[in-house]
Amino acid sequence: MSADTPPAAKTTKAQSMNGAEAVVRSLEMLGITDVFGLPGGAILPVYDPLMDSSKIRHILVRHEQGAGHAAEGYASSSGKLGVCIATSGPGATNLVTAIADAHMDSVPLLAITGQVFSHLMGTDAFQEADIVGITLPITKHSFLVTKAADIPGALAAAYEIATTGRPGPVLVDITKDAQQEEFDFSWPPTYELPGYHPVTKANSKQIQAAAELMAQAKKPVFYVGGGIVRSGAAPELLKLVELVGAPVVTTLMARGAFPDSHQQNLGMPGMHGTVPAVLALQESDLLITLGARFDDRVTGKSSLFAMNAQVIHVDIDPAEIGKIRHAEVPIVGDLKDVLVDLIDAYAKEMGKKKLDITEWWVRLNALRSEFPLGYSEPEDGQLSPQYVIQRVGELSGPEAVYAAGVGQHQMWAAQFIKYERPNAWLNSGGAGTMGYAVPAAMGAKVAQPDRVVWAIDGDGCFQMTNQELATCTLNQIPIKVAVINNSSLGMVRQWQTLFYDGRYSHTDLNTGHDTVRIPDFVKLADAYGALSIRVTKREEVDDAIKLALATNDRPVVIDFVVSADAMVWPMVPQGVSNSGVQYAREHAPSWDDEE
């Protein structure tokens, strides 16, 4: 994991303070510089000393879900630990979606919540919720702290758990009496994590077995997942891939882990992947699986996925290996360390020879020529969403950060923006959380203030969390928001077009119609203090994007009014094989085809 490393622990003399002060002091000692939160009664004691901290910037959000997603965006763009704070009851439960999202996508997140007085717990007290019980299935660990003296140890342990091994969210719930209680604070605290021993160094015999399989392969493919990004192993991946000469596919969570411009990159696999990427996996004889988990959106019907391939599966989480697909060579370890060993082992195995996969590349290059990624202009004459997103990427460049919501615009952003570096692409991959983009972009801009940060959102997603534009305006966080406004819940509408005979049940949002715009995004953005622009014509696209890029004193919202009929292609229906005929671009794939 490439999370930030806390500063060398300085031993401090015992000092009397209350638990709330200990929360702030502990965060400072852990090197935390930015937190996102919203105060309330049960966490109020913490907010008093937080006001006096010169080391921690607190950003007041408008909704706790926004705090959670902002902490995710902060972490995902920088590799640092993201921190969010909320009060008890509804404050804590409003964090649950973001915590679940971080759990699915392995994002290092620390959620600190206030809890009612310990003697009131279990009585249905005002704003009481068993947030520890609620979050146990969606965190790496959840702590309940009822004594002030336990606060430093709980927060230090939470930091270690969240940022080591497979990163993920940790919750620390602190009762109000623990926050008010006095005790003698000292640092570093002592704590124990029995049973928590993440393996980072792989077994050398498994490394050798993997090298031998790679040396014998005729149709190998590097199947690269988000674990490469989380481990900071992109440089090692590039070195190994070039050494072997095999093709690479990067999952939705791994976009940017391997440069799109590299000749060996076939693109994204899966439901909306490129034809060469999907068929490379299907036809391969060896999957070199790195930090990926054989998600159903990649495999389609898992029993029909890559049926002739042997599998090398590297993951820091042993629970992922063998969960969906048997691995002939399972390797548990941190990818950054594993790839260094694998590079050495493979080089020794091959000696001066090069892997001969010429015929394999002939086949793949033919697929590239036959099935290039592209799109058709809408027949209704309206703006093409793919074109808009492509121009956002081309004008902003690979050093920008792009946070997407969930739906059609997410897939188009994954397809038509070229990613050259890790941590440039942020999205809700596993949970598929609508409303992720704006707060995640806000968090990314706080973590990476010198980068251009875009939220690429849909009109449905944007209405879920756009209140955080107020947070951005008031805190001088100048994100750019591209609203891909097709006046509908686009991905649901696409499924209704393909599989429900065009019966558009409750998917029209009325946000982009000429006669009625509810809400009018330009007026809404203006009310939040953002620069607001509406674009309806192709010739207006570049000027609007350039104006957004030149504006850095406030957020920018561009309402791109696009065609509601645009489709995400290619598309493999859920639960079917990934084999060739599913890639018809001119007509709907068959729902019942289980080839």
Rounded to an integer, the average pLDDT of 19-39 is 98
Instruction: Tell me the fold of 15-185.
Output: Rossmann fold (3.40.50)
Q: Give the pLDDT band of residue 576 (cuts 50, 70, 90).
A: low
pLDDT tens column, 521-562: 999 999 999 999 999 999 999 999 999 999 999 999 999 999
For residues 350 and 368, give the distance between their C-alpha atoms in angstroms, rounded to a whole number: 29
Rounded to an integer, the average pLDDT of 516-520 is 91
- Asked whether residue 462 carries a pLDDT value surpassing 90, the answer given is yes
Please report the pLDDT score of residue 427 as a whole number.
Answer: 98
For residues 476 and 478, give the distance between their C-alpha atoms in angstroms, rounded to a whole number: 6
Active site residue 448: no
The average confidence (pLDDT) of the chain is 94
- Asked whether residue 568 carries a pLDDT value surpassing 60, the answer given is yes
- Asked whether residue 86 carries a pLDDT value surpassing 70, the answer given is yes
Given 121, 127, 301, 328, the catalytic residue: 127
For residues 86 and 113, give the distance between their C-alpha atoms in angstroms, rounded to a whole number: 5
Structure tokens given for 339:
């790839």
Please report the pLDDT score of residue 579 as a whole number.
Answer: 63
For residues 146 and 486, give the distance between their C-alpha atoms in angstroms, rounded to a whole number: 50
Please report the pLDDT score of residue 516 as a whole number.
Answer: 82
Q: Is-same-fold flag (15-185; 385-561)?
A: yes
For the chain, what are the domain ranges?
15-185, 204-364, 385-561
Please report the pLDDT score of residue 584 as a whole number.
Answer: 38
Rounded to an integer, the average pLDDT of 225-248 is 98
- Asked whether residue 170 carries a pLDDT value surpassing 70, the answer given is yes
Please report the pLDDT score of residue 514 as a whole number.
Answer: 72
CATH code of the region 385-561: 3.40.50.970
Percent of the chain predicted with pLDDT > 70: 95
Range of lowest pLDDT (77-91, 108-122, 141-155, 294-308): 294-308
> Is the CB of residue 85 less than 8 Å from the CB of residue 57?
no
Q: What are phi and psi of 150, to 5 degrees?
A: -90, -5
Please report the pLDDT score of residue 252 as a whole number.
Answer: 97
Active site residue 21: no
pTM: 0.95
Active site residue 176: yes
Active site residue 127: yes
Rounded to an integer, the average pLDDT of 106-122 is 98
Given 104, 128, 143, 176, the catalytic residue: 176
Rounded to an integer, the average pLDDT of 76-102 is 98
pLDDT tens column, 467-481: 999 999 999 999 999
Tracing tokens 């809400």 back to the chain, one arrives at: 519
Please report the pLDDT score of residue 1 as a whole number.
Answer: 42
Given 1, 21, 64, 310, the catalytic residue: 64
Please report the pLDDT score of residue 227 as a whole number.
Answer: 98
Rounded to an integer, the average pLDDT of 108-135 is 98
Active site residue 126: yes
CATH code of the region 204-364: 3.40.50.1220
Percent of the chain predicted with pLDDT > 90: 89
Show the 3-state SS of 533-589.
EEECCHHHHHHHHHHHHHCCCCCEEEEEEECCCCCCCCCCCCCCCCCHHHHCCCCCC
Range of lowest pLDDT (146-150, 208-212, 527-531, 567-571): 567-571
Please report the pLDDT score of residue 490 as a whole number.
Answer: 84
Given 491, 560, 571, 582, the catalytic residue: 491
Rounded to an integer, the average pLDDT of 90-97 is 98
Please report the pLDDT score of residue 595 as a whole number.
Answer: 29
pLDDT tens column, 36-46: 999 999 999 99
Please give the residue that has the higher pLDDT: either 565 or 141: 141
Tracing tokens 């939040």 back to the chain, one arrives at: 528
